[in-house]
Chain A
Amino acid sequence: MSEFVTLTIDGKEVKAPKGATVLEAAKSAGIHIPTLCFLKDINEIGACRMCIVDVGARSFQAACAYPVSEGLNVITNSPKIRETRRVTLELILSNHDRECLTCVRSQNCELQKLAKELNVKDIRYEGENQEFPIDDLSPSIVRDPNKCVLCRRCVSVCNEVQSVGAIGVVDRGFNSTVSSPFNFALNDTPCVNCGQCIVVCPVGALYEKSSVEKVWDALANEDLHVVVQTAPAVRAALGEEFGYPIGTRVTGKMVAALKRLGFAKVFDTDTAADLTIMEEGTELVERIKNNGKLPLITSCSPGWIKFCEHNYPDMLDNLSSCKSPQNMFGAVLKSYYAEKMGIDPSKIFVVSVMPCTAKKFEAGRPELASTGYPDVDEVITTRELAQMIKEAGIDFMNLPDEQFDDPMGEATGAGVIFGATGGVMEAALRSVPYLLTGKDDENIDIKVVRGVEDFKEAELEVNGIKIKAAVVHGLGNARKLLDKIRSGEAEYHFIEVMACPGGCVNGGGQPIQPASVRNETDLRTERAKAIYEEDEAMTIRRSHQNPRVLKMYEEYFEKPGSEKSHKLLHTHYVARENYPEN
């Protein structure tokens, strides 16, 4: 049991656990203190000075970082406190690009909301407003320092959570900015495009490189057969953009909306996820049987792949050679599907809707064009899809539920759980016994690999073969595990890595929830619930039972790991320098 202390906040006696912050104690007492830089567990640095309170010290203290103590007397609301907060906010606004109407975060901006909350009517301290170039050279992420308020959430998430370290604060004082080392473009750094910086940004300083216009153009081009695939995590979060509670599954409406946007076919990436399990599961079984390179590490997450290429080039052989489901699907659409439907693959335009910004980078990898055409032509994020739906005037909430299209629309529960941490592992473990013995294990729910713990482990024994598996999510956790494997401290057969904390449901392309929501709700858990709900509702929940996948092997790929599948469904990796030479 934790110890409690008694303190006074605004004259009210409050009990709070020892070690809690004043902000937490106030919250528990129903007292709201404004915050800007604060993001629970990620950024608790007291930098923005919005949450200042009077604790009787010479100056005001940041409630988000100030620990409670017995007898502490806190005042959160006085004329002087309000004025100091407002002046600080006005100062921030005085050096901010205030073109709110055209800002990507208009109406979903924490700064805008705070200005309203603190009753800022006038900016009394105008002065030099810096102008920085916008960095839009990355295929995934755009940085606009003119919008940046230097809250450092992005810096914390990139350095502490992801251990990527592509951005930090450069220069000092009034000239401080968040930037890459030596002010390189983000594209010239070890940035893995995970987009976690985007989803924590309170303002419009970080956003995805939009493909919306390109998709509109393709849809308007009558020569093209424009098809779309949607990743499993998209359906678990898209509803948030239209006012649904977090964790609402909107699969049917999403499909209906995509059809109304004009896509010729609406497919489910889950189908390709099942295909991935067949290929990757077979790869695992073969590596175990033939003393191949172990552990085998999953390759679905493009952020993780780039991270590995930068930081663990010596371990590239551990990566599964399987393409990610997105690109497998693209390749299938431009080969098998093209043949089957009798469409020239050059006329097929594949759009992916992904919860992910790194998928944009992945789609542009030159090696991912095994049909001679890029597997995937354009990637839009969940947010961009919502934008298109709004732009097209589609009344999302009143759409009927519709089904994915044939012939590629069939998927299993195993495919859908790819969207959450542990999902790829669980899907694989549902199929590995069959791939090894031709028989299924009774157990279908492998709950030890679910959930948001940093590190999860599972063991499976099939015919005397023990398979030791580990699951990590968030690249900081991946780094810890990889270091242990490198040093020989840990040994596994199979590892699932997802770049984003919580997996794809919390990807960098997902709807942005403000800190006020994130601090109270674990998005990772809530959105994952929708995914597992869909899994439960499926009649087929093992990838190797997906009739469409089986048919594809029968009609086209022969068997997992065949020459054809290697040509179309597998890839290779390259060691990457962290920074350009010279």
Chain B
Amino acid sequence: MIYRSHVLVCNGTGCVSSKSPDLMAKMEELLVANGIENEVKIIKTGCFGLCEKGPILVIYPEGATYCNVSVDDIEEIVNEHLVKGRIVKRLLLGDKEAEDVSKSRDNVGFFAKQKRIALRNCGVINPENIEEYIAHDGYLALAKAVTEMTPAEVIAEITKSGLRGRGGAGFPVGRKWQFAAQEVSDQKYVCCNADEGDPGAFMDRSILEGDPHSVIEAMAIAGYAIGANQGYIYVRAEYPIAVERLNIAIKQAHEYGLLGKNIFNTDFSFNLELRLGAGAFVCGEETALMTSIEGNRGEPRTRPPFPAVKGLWGKPTLLNNVETYANIPVILLKGADWFSSIGTEKSKGTKVFAIGGKIHNTGLVEIPMGTTLREVVYDIGGGIPNGKKFKAAQTGGPSGGCIPADHLDIPIDYDNLLEIGSMMGSGGMIIMDEDTCMVDIAKFFLEFTVDESCGKCPPCRIGTKRMLEILDRITQGKGEEGDIEKLEALAESINKGALCGLGQTAPNPVLSTLKFFRDEYEAHVKDKKCPAGVCTALLNYVIIADKCKGCSLCARKCPVNAISGEVKKPYVIDQDKCIKCGVCMESCKFAAIEKK
């Protein structure tokens, strides 16, 4: 059937949680009511990236991108756009008066500076329909690999592309494939790490939800390249939509002969299964992931032997993460030279970041390596809300670090981030403004690591806990002389002594904040002050007598009756009674209450 209009509705997790399925239901109902259900097709797609403006839907052929759509808007969209052909300008993303509505979003920096390779099909195709993937050159790379290329040629092409692992450490992908390929064994495995766990990161989730076939195709290519006929995708059970779409995609790929025996009538066979993770962060570490797939408690083991030599059930195993795989088919189709023309000298291609925190455009962006942090924050991210100043960006999740304002012009790539004490990680990026306390941030990340430590080795099991206890003390105003030095000593011993990468990097958030914001730590310890006004134990709410009009509102709002005074005269807060809840400051209409 041919439709005159197509409505693409984002069904990524972000938009789903802001009710995009309700929009679809409502629209379906109205299409029927208007008798145009056979003329307009609703398609659910993966993530468009700009979650901040969700739910998002795009209507073709006009290419109109509507944002922040609510169920109440649907009637107008159906009546105006779909029935009468009139654009609903007020909902357009970007330039609402654009002559060509398909270009309305072009001036939105968020989209302009992106280059979507890994996310190429997200928001473009229906992830539950393999034909849409095929129509976008899907499985062409697999066909090319198995019918026209030798495994060695495939690996050579990947090596030449300069692609590095997108999961965190940035190991050259071609080399990893080569290691697994050169092992001689009766059985090898290909694994996909979809145990995305960094706080705030959801790029792998979006790819799986929006374009699952790209991962499946890439894993089959990898199987061909290293000589494996079995693959496992280890995906978090907390990603139900991704799991469902992967299941659908694997089933469809089998039906189309793109998985299973004798793919493209060659001798190459490849099967794929899902394994659901129970949500332990450490299972993103490759040896822990494999241990978990084997059915054991997910814990890392010592390396060597590396997975390429002894992996799953002791057999050579190739492990890459979702985003890495998503790049593979394109590289084979467009060539290594094309791919390596993007990016910096040692970091090729693009990287997807999940931007969050104190920034206008939270969401998912894919940028060429070498894009500066400033571009990400201000052009793509739209800057910091409420006119606040940028203070730092946290990248690399709990293994990463903070990049302060001095380094805004740093071109983002693996090596530059490492050099300043952070890391690429899987691509979480949390933007912090001047109201953020860096000690508190370090504490937040350490709380995460302490909670997620598997407990196998003492440096991580007890060491991170001790660091957290010190940080707790510092933010409670009970910091002692020497605490900072203790933190540093512990950090170094954990870094050198822990068993796995997660433990070794667990102190990084503390080390990097200490490196750039040591004065804040010192203020907490020595002056018992939190300069950013975050650590409640270290601040007092005070009423500025000059500004107080004596309206008594704060006194009435105070839950512990700590505020007293006479009407029309300045009020006072009894610091002994105050529980520092901040209600008074929020309620004051004259900005007469300050944190000090």
A62–B455 alpha-carbon span in the complex (Å): 16
* 1/0 contact string of A120-144 vs chain B (CB within 8 Å): 0000110110000000000000000
Binds B, one of A166-174, A406-414, A440-448: A166-174
Q: Is A60 an interface residue (CB 8 A)?
A: yes
**Contacting pair A173 B497 (CB below 8 A):** no
Contact status of A87 and B463, CB under 8 A, knowing A45-B301, A49-B497, A60-B496: yes
Our pick among A52, A66, A168, A174 for the contact of B450 (Cβ within 8 Å) is A174
**Contacting pair B465 A174 (CB below 8 A):** yes
**Contacting pair B465 A62 (CB below 8 A):** no
**Contacting pair A58 B453 (CB below 8 A):** no
Select from chain B the residue with minimum beta-carbon distance to A67. B304
Our pick among B302, B452, B489, B496 for the contact of A65 (Cβ within 8 Å) is B302
**Contacting pair A46 B302 (CB below 8 A):** yes
What residues of chain B lie closer than 8 Å to A47, measured between beta carbons? 456-457, 499
Q: Is B178 an interface residue (CB 8 A)?
A: no
**Contacting pair B455 A175 (CB below 8 A):** yes
Q: Is A88 an interface residue (CB 8 A)?
A: yes
Nearest-neighbour CB distance to chain B for A64, whole angstroms, equals: 9
**Contacting pair B469 A128 (CB below 8 A):** yes
**Contacting pair A173 B493 (CB below 8 A):** no
Q: Is B462 an interface residue (CB 8 A)?
A: yes
What residues of chain A lie closer than 8 Å to B492, measured between beta carbons? 84
Contact status of A46 and B499, CB under 8 A, knowing A87-B463, A174-B462: yes
Contact status of A173 and B455, CB under 8 A, knowing A59-B504, A84-B496: yes
**Contacting pair B459 A49 (CB below 8 A):** yes
Q: Is B461 an interface residue (CB 8 A)?
A: yes
Q: Is A506 an interface residue (CB 8 A)?
A: no
What residues of chain B lie closer than 8 Å to A176, measured between beta carbons? 454-456, 461
Q: Is A92 an interface residue (CB 8 A)?
A: yes
* 1/0 contact string of B470-514 vs chain A (CB within 8 Å): 000000000000000010011011011111000010000000000
Kindly name the residue among A80, A88, A92 whose own CB sees the greatest number of chain B CB atoms within 10 A. Answer: A88
A426–B569 alpha-carbon span in the complex (Å): 102
What residues of chain B lie closer than 8 Å to A95, measured between beta carbons? 462
Q: Is A335 an interface residue (CB 8 A)?
A: no
A65–B463 alpha-carbon span in the complex (Å): 22
A168–B280 alpha-carbon span in the complex (Å): 17
**Contacting pair B454 A172 (CB below 8 A):** yes
**Contacting pair A87 B489 (CB below 8 A):** yes
* 1/0 contact string of A66-88 vs chain B (CB within 8 Å): 11000000000000100111011
**Contacting pair B461 A94 (CB below 8 A):** no
Kindly name the residue among B282, B305, B456 whose own CB sees the greatest number of chain A CB atoms within 10 A. Answer: B456
A172–B283 alpha-carbon span in the complex (Å): 12
**Contacting pair B497 A59 (CB below 8 A):** yes
Q: Is B466 an interface residue (CB 8 A)?
A: yes
**Contacting pair B469 A48 (CB below 8 A):** no
**Contacting pair A59 B498 (CB below 8 A):** yes
**Contacting pair B457 A125 (CB below 8 A):** no
A94–B470 alpha-carbon span in the complex (Å): 14
What residues of chain B lie closer than 8 Å to A189, measured between beta carbons? none
A58–B505 alpha-carbon span in the complex (Å): 11
A62–B499 alpha-carbon span in the complex (Å): 8
* 1/0 contact string of A157-182 vs chain B (CB within 8 Å): 00000000000110111111000000
Our pick among B302, B489, B495 for the contact of A62 (Cβ within 8 Å) is B302
Q: Is B240 an interface residue (CB 8 A)?
A: no
What residues of chain A lie closer than 8 Å to B496, measured between beta carbons? 52, 59-60, 80, 84
**Contacting pair A91 B450 (CB below 8 A):** no
Interface residue ranges of A164-206 to B (CB < 8 Å)? 168-169, 171-176
Our pick among B280, B305, B463 for the contact of A91 (Cβ within 8 Å) is B463
Contact status of A173 and B454, CB under 8 A, knowing A87-B490, A94-B466: yes
**Contacting pair A48 B458 (CB below 8 A):** yes
What residues of chain A lie closer than 8 Å to B305, measured between beta carbons? 67
Q: Is A150 an interface residue (CB 8 A)?
A: yes
What residues of chain B lie closer than 8 Å to A149, measured between beta carbons? 458
**Contacting pair B465 A173 (CB below 8 A):** yes
Kindly name the residue among A85, A127, A168 whose own CB sees the greatest number of chain B CB atoms within 10 A. Answer: A127
Contact status of A128 and B490, CB under 8 A, knowing A168-B297, A172-B453, A174-B453: no
* 1/0 contact string of A503-526 vs chain B (CB within 8 Å): 000000000000000000000000
**Contacting pair A88 B459 (CB below 8 A):** yes
Q: Is B594 an interface residue (CB 8 A)?
A: no
Q: Is B451 an interface residue (CB 8 A)?
A: yes
**Contacting pair B458 A127 (CB below 8 A):** no
A174–B451 alpha-carbon span in the complex (Å): 8
Q: Is A61 an interface residue (CB 8 A)?
A: yes
Our pick among A45, A59, A83, A174 for the contact of B455 (Cβ within 8 Å) is A174
**Contacting pair A92 B486 (CB below 8 A):** no
What residues of chain B lie closer than 8 Å to A65, measured between beta carbons? 302
What residues of chain B lie closer than 8 Å to A49, measured between beta carbons? 457-459, 497-499
What residues of chain A lie closer than 8 Å to B495, measured between beta carbons? 59
Our pick among A59, A83, A88, A125 for the contact of B486 (Cβ within 8 Å) is A125
Select from chain B the residue with minimum beta-carbon distance to A173. B453
A48–B498 alpha-carbon span in the complex (Å): 9
Select from chain A the residue with minimum beta-carbon distance to B280. A172
What residues of chain B lie closer than 8 Å to A88, measured between beta carbons? 458-459, 463, 493, 497
Select from chain B the residue with minimum beta-carbon distance to A69. B304
A61–B299 alpha-carbon span in the complex (Å): 17
A87–B304 alpha-carbon span in the complex (Å): 25
Nearest-neighbour CB distance to chain B for A145, whole angstroms, equals: 13
**Contacting pair B499 A87 (CB below 8 A):** no
Select from chain A the residue with minimum beta-carbon distance to B299. A169
A91–B494 alpha-carbon span in the complex (Å): 10
* 1/0 contact string of A81-109 vs chain B (CB within 8 Å): 00111011001101100000000000000
**Contacting pair B465 A127 (CB below 8 A):** yes
**Contacting pair B455 A172 (CB below 8 A):** yes
**Contacting pair B451 A91 (CB below 8 A):** no
**Contacting pair A127 B469 (CB below 8 A):** yes
A125–B473 alpha-carbon span in the complex (Å): 13
Interface residue ranges of B248-278 to A (CB < 8 Å)? none
A49–B499 alpha-carbon span in the complex (Å): 7
What residues of chain A lie closer than 8 Å to B459, measured between beta carbons? 49, 87-88, 91
What residues of chain A lie closer than 8 Å to B304, measured between beta carbons? 66-67
What residues of chain A lie closer than 8 Å to B451, measured between beta carbons? 173
Nearest-neighbour CB distance to chain B for A62, whole angstroms, equals: 6
A172–B278 alpha-carbon span in the complex (Å): 13
Nearest-neighbour CB distance to chain A for B72, whole angstroms, equals: 46
Kindly name the residue among A88, A91, A94, A149 whose own CB sees the greatest number of chain B CB atoms within 10 A. Answer: A91
**Contacting pair B302 A61 (CB below 8 A):** yes
Nearest-neighbour CB distance to chain B for A184, whole angstroms, equals: 17
A85–B493 alpha-carbon span in the complex (Å): 8
What residues of chain B lie closer than 8 Å to A174, measured between beta carbons? 450, 453, 455, 461-462, 465
What residues of chain A lie closer than 8 Å to B302, measured between beta carbons? 45-46, 61-62, 65-66
Select from chain B the residue with minimum beta-carbon distance to A60. B496
Nearest-neighbour CB distance to chain B for A134, whole angstroms, equals: 20
What residues of chain A lie closer than 8 Å to B299, measured between beta carbons? 169
**Contacting pair B458 A128 (CB below 8 A):** no
Select from chain A the residue with minimum beta-carbon distance to B304. A67
Select from chain A the residue with minimum beta-carbon distance to B282. A172
Interface residue ranges of B306-334 to A (CB < 8 Å)? none
A149–B456 alpha-carbon span in the complex (Å): 10
A174–B450 alpha-carbon span in the complex (Å): 7
What residues of chain A lie closer than 8 Å to B460, measured between beta carbons? 173
Contact status of A173 and B457, CB under 8 A, knowing A45-B301, A46-B302: no
Binding site for B on A (CB under 8 A): 45-49, 52, 58-62, 65-67, 80, 83-85, 87-88, 91-92, 94-95, 124-125, 127-128, 149-150, 168-169, 171-176
3 closest A-B pairs by beta carbon, nearest first, are A176-B455, A173-B453, A87-B493
In the assembled complex, 8 residue pairs joining A and B whose CB atoms fall closer than 8 Å, in A order, are A52-B497, A58-B504, A66-B304, A87-B490, A88-B493, A91-B459, A149-B458, A173-B450
Extra pairs beyond A87-B493, A125-B486 (13, CB < 8 Å): A45-B456, A62-B499, A65-B302, A67-B304, A84-B492, A87-B463, A87-B489, A94-B466, A124-B489, A171-B455, A172-B453, A173-B450, A173-B452
